[in-house]
């Protein structure tokens, strides 16, 4: 099974999910999304697989969320995608992708939904 993790090594939750994957015998493709952010089409594909909207994956803490006014409920999905594209740190992590789907692994147990 192919497993991909959108990972931030500075994030304890992301490190935990990566460790649990490896303990379970999976060697995932690791995408350090701060170094190699997903393209807009890739991000839209991930969101569709997760059944989420761009606002659902926004991270506030330690990001320019407030400075960019991303709490404004009037912002549409395209504006939020623009912000994530310009500032990948706004994307919650980790996101795990397998043949069974994709999940934002917050909490960590969400990974169990798409692993064999």
CA 34, CA 110: separation in Å to the nearest integer? 22
**Contact between 57 and 85 (Cβ < 8 Å):** no
Query: Looking at residue 75, what DSSP letter applies?
Result: -
Among 11, 30, 108, 115, which one carries the catalytic annotation? Answer: 11
> Omega of the bond prior to 98 within 30 degrees of 0, cis?
no
Annotation says 105 is catalytic: no
CA 59, CA 106: separation in Å to the nearest integer? 12
Quote the strand ranges of 1-116, DSSP E. 4-7, 29-32, 95-98, 101-104
Active site residues: 11
């Amino acid at each position: 099974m192919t497993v991909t993790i959108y990972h931030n090594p500075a994030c304890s939750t992301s490190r935990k999910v990566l460790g649990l994957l490896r303990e379970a015998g999976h060697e995932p493709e690791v995408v350090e999304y701060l170094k190699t952010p997903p393209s807009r089409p890739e991000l839209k594909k991930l969101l569709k697989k997760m059944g989420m909207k761009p606002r659902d994956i926004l991270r506030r803490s330690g990001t320019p969320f407030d400075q960019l006014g991303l709490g404004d409920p009037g912002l549409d999905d395209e504006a939020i995608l623009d912000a994530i594209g310009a500032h990948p740190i706004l994307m919650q992590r980790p996101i795990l992708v397998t043949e069974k789907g994709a999940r934002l692994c917050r909490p960590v147990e969400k990974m169990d939904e798409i692993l064999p």
